[in-house]
Amino acid sequence: MERIVFLDRDTLKANVRRPSFTHEWIEHDKTESAEVAERLKGATIAITNKVRLREADLKQLPSLRFIAVAATGVDIIDLEYCKRQGISVSNVRNYAGHTVPEHALMLMLALRRNLLSYRSDVQAGAWERTHTFCLFHHPIHDLHGSTLGIVGYGVLGKAVGRLALALGMRVLVAEHKGARKIRDGRVQFEEVLRASDIVTLHSPLNDETRNMIGAAEFEMMKRDAILINTARGGLVDERALVEALERGKIGGAGFDVLTKEPPREGNPLLEINQPNFILTPHNAWASREAMQTLADQLIDNIEAFIRGEPKNLVK
C-alpha cells in the first residue's frame, strides 16, 4: 500500500481530494527542515510545496519513489540525486494563468496611477483642504500607449502580454540575457530594458537568471520605468533595487516575491517606505480558483504515476 505524506498542507487553501487507489494519507500543516527525514520515513510518495528535499534527507528514505511538488518551481528538490536514485518528480503547471497576470496588472495600474500616494493624501485630509474638486499632487500615467517589456515568455508571460495588448500597450518580448541570436518576435534583453515604461519578470530561477536585474540593468532603464516581479525573488539584486529606488534611478517597483521567504531574518525591501514601491506577500498565485486547480492537478499527477502513466515529470 502506498504511504503518502504531505509535508506542508497549510500552504494550500483548497479541497485536496484523496487519491482513488488504496493508500495511507498523512499530512502535516508545516514541516521544519530537521523534521523531514523522520516524517517521510516509510513514505513512498511525498508531497511538498516549499519544504526542501535535499540529498542528506533523501538518502534516509529508501522507500520513496515519487515526489509530487505542489507548485511549478522545483528548485527545492535535489533533482540530480533523484535522477541517480530513480525517484520521479512532478510539478503542477499552468494553474495560475489568470491569477498571476491579474496581480501583475494590478501592480502596474497602482504604480502608474500613483494609487498609494493619493490614498495617503486622502487619509491625511489633503482632499478636504484643496481649493479644487480634485487633487493633482502626483503624476498619473495611462497604461494605454505605454511600452511593456516582458522577460520570460512562458504561459504567464504570454498571458500578461495578452492583457497588455487588450489595454492598448506596446509589448516587447525580451530575448534571453546574453543570447547571441535574437529569435523572431524577440528583442535584445538590454534594448527591452532601455525602451520599456514597465518591465515585468516571469522567468524561472536558475543559475542563468539569478540576479539578472542588478545595478547595471537599473542604469539602462528609464528614470520613470517600473519593475514588476511576480516570479522569483532571486531574479533581482534586492540591494541594487533599494538603491535604484532611493536614488530615483527608476520610477517604482511592484514585487510579490523575496529572495528568502518568509523573511524571518529581514530583507532590505521590507525597509522601503515609499509610495512608489509595493510589496505583496507572495500571494499573486493564490486566488481560490487557482489553488483549487493546483490541488486537483496535484492529485492527478499522483494517480497518473501509480497507473504507470506519469505526467508533468521534471527530470
C-alpha cell at 215: 545595478
Q: Which of 55, 208, 261, 289 is catalytic?
A: 261
Distance CA 175, CA 179 (A): 7
d(CA 229, CA 106): 12
Report the DSSP beta bridge partners of residue 278: 254
Based on the residue annotation, tell me whether 194 is a catalytic residue of this protein. Answer: no
Catalytic residue among 39, 176, 232, 238: 232
- Check if 176 is active-site: no
How far apart are the C-alpha atoms of 241 and 101, rounded to whole Å? Answer: 22
* Residues 157, 201: Cα–Cα separation, whole Å: 8
**Cell numbers of 151, please?**
522577460
Q: Give Cβ neighbours of residue 279 (< 8 Å, ≥ 6 apart).
A: 254, 255, 256, 258, 269, 270, 272
Contact in structure between 49 and 29 (CB atoms under 8 Å): no
The residue from 23, 65, 141, 282 that is catalytic is 282
Verify whether residue 232 is a known catalytic residue. Answer: yes
What letter does residue 74 receive in the DSSP assignment? -
Nearest CA among 200, 178, 176 for reference residue 257: 200
Distance CA 302, CA 274 (A): 45
- The phi, psi pair for 6, rounded to 5°, reads -100, 115
Q: Which one, of 175, 150, 29, 52, lies nearest residue 100 by Cα?
A: 150
DSSP 8-state code for residue 271: G
267, 204, 256, 92: CA torsion to nearest 10: -120
Catalytic residues: 232, 261, 282
